[in-house]
Structure 1
Amino acid sequence: MSHQRPLAILGGTFDPIHNGHLRAAWEAAEALDAEVRMVPARTPPHRPPPIADAAGRVALLRAALSGQERLILDTRELDRDGPSYTVDTLASLRAEIGPERPLVLLVGADAFAGLASWHLWRDLFNLAHVGVLTRPGGAHPLPVELEAFVAPRRAARVQGPVGSVVGIDITPLDIAATAIRESFAGGGEPRYLMPDPCFADPALLDPYRALGL
């Protein structure tokens, strides 16, 4: 059977999308030779609602992703009612791409350390690999239960459709959406933290500029 190029997904609130998100996704795409889908989340249950509504966050993402074809916008979590569980997102992708194509869930090392608190977390490995985005020198020790579960699954690279944990080294860009929102609230213009196309249409940034009013 011919090698099928992996499909990877990076989820997040993307409130707003910034160069840290995009660079991590791009480096993962190169490391895995994968197509990467950016999956904006609905209002997450465990944190305050995003500043921009779903349509606003999607419009910014669409602008940010213009001019390249490796990172793709995927709005399936916004199109679905109810809570956005990662396991459901992976199941819907798996149903689309069939059982053979490698599917990779991209998570930051800090989020990965908390994986055992996720809904049906063990089932994630029946649907996909997990690619852990790791910054040089960043250490996130895993809880005992999670370490015992993932230890035999660690692999140097993605092989087969599901089941392994692969580390992906990324460039440490210390950019936070929180700091970007604070910049807007103070009347700033956080250029070069967000991609240039996000500034091309001033209306795209109105929800964040309104923070300073």
Structure 2
Amino acid sequence: MGSHGSGQAATAQAGAGPVHVVYGGTFDPVHLGHLAIARAARDALRATVHLTPAADPPHRAPPGADAAHRARMVALAIAGEPGLALDARELRREGPSYTVDTLRELRREGGAQAPIALLLGADSLLGLPDWHAWRELPGLAHLVVAEREGSDLDARLPPPLADCLEGRWTRDPADLAGTPAGRVLRLHQPLHPGSATQVRRALASGGDWRAWLPAAVAEHIRRHGLYGVTVP
């Protein structure tokens, strides 16, 4: 995302422009559930969703596949898919992969008034207080939370997080385009039930792991023998 330049006219255009949506994660591996969330956000916000693989996630065990393979699998999964793009910036950055650093970088590139949104699942939102510099996130970007209809998200919010997000919630995607950051959009969509943990469990047990994945990703795993898959 390039710079919008300076001056009042440029600032007004930035504030009224499309939302830059960041969808971070280890994508270890990227699966149909990830794509369902990305497509739902793309359609609701009418914006490109940038899938941004983490290089060295500081809050979990090392990924099962290295960064190059995980980025390649994302590229294969979204090939030819309108409105979905790969952003490999975190793989080029040294040190731990902190979301706040990515959002700071995007804010520098886009300017103070550019609408930026961080897409994350409900479980990731609940774990936000464990993230590095998490209180800075609403000041840098909107949050778009993918949750199932009928979820008990409100009741499960830790008190510090509930306080931080008080007054920020919205159900109108248009609220995100008019301001640079600070709102929290509930994205109620029917989501694919898969998770990366379930995929890796199926891979380890020899179960039907291909059913969870885009065909091109499954073939990449088979061809390179990732996650312990035996190449015939």
- Cα drift, residue 57 of structure 1: 0.8
Shift in CA distance, 67/204, structure 1 to aligned 2, threshold 3 Å: farther
Query: Aligned residue for 1:148?
Result: 163
User: By percentage of residues, which structure has more helix?
Assistant: 2
- Indicate the RMSD between aligned Cα atoms, in angstroms: 2.1
1:179 alignment partner, one of 198, 201, 210: 198
> Does structure 1 retain, via aligned residues, the 8 Å contact 2:52–2:87?
yes
Query: Aligned residue for 1:89?
Result: 102
- CA–CA distance in 2 between the matches of 1:41 and 1:84? 6
Q: Percent identity?
A: 41
- CA–CA distance in 1 between the matches of 2:186 and 2:125? 11
Structure 1: which amino acid aligns with 2:161? L
Matched, 1:66 2:64: no
- CA–CA distance in 2 between the matches of 1:81 and 1:128? 23
Of stretches 50-59 and 154-163 in structure 1, the one that deviates more from structure 2 is 154-163
- Runs of 4+ in structure 1 deviating by more than 4 angstroms, as ranges, are 200-205
- Cα drift, residue 144 of structure 1: 1.7
Shift in CA distance, 69/53, structure 1 to aligned 2, threshold 3 Å: same
> Does structure 2 retain, via aligned residues, the 8 Å contact 1:187–1:209?
no
Alignment size in residue pairs: 213
Of stretches 70-79 and 196-205 in structure 1, the one that deviates more from structure 2 is 196-205
- Cα drift, residue 143 of structure 1: 1.6
> Does structure 2 retain, via aligned residues, the 8 Å contact 1:60–1:204?
no
The TM-score normalised by the length of structure 2 is 0.84
Task: Give CA-to-partner distance per residue, 1:133-180, whole Å, 9 cap, x none.
Answer: 111122132122221221111223313111111111121321021222
Shift in CA distance, 130/201, structure 1 to aligned 2, threshold 3 Å: closer
Task: Give CA-to-partner distance per residue, 1:98-119, whole Å, 9 cap, x none.
Answer: 2222100111112212222222
Which structure 1 segments of 5+ residues have no match? Answer: none
The TM-score normalised by the length of structure 1 is 0.91
Matched, 1:125 2:126: no
Query: Aligned residue for 1:36?
Result: 49
Task: Give CA-to-partner distance per residue, 1:47-77, whole Å, 9 cap, x none.
Answer: 2211111111111111101012311101111
- CA–CA distance in 1 between the matches of 2:102 and 2:32? 24
- CA–CA distance in 2 between the matches of 1:35 and 1:113? 25
> Does structure 2 retain, via aligned residues, the 8 Å contact 1:154–1:165?
yes
- CA–CA distance in 2 between the matches of 1:9 and 1:166? 14
Query: Aligned residue for 2:214?
Result: 195
1:79 alignment partner, one of 79, 82, 92: 92
Which structure 2 segments of 5+ residues have no match? Answer: 1-11
> Does structure 2 retain, via aligned residues, the 8 Å contact 1:56–1:204?
no
- CA–CA distance in 1 between the matches of 2:203 and 2:159? 41
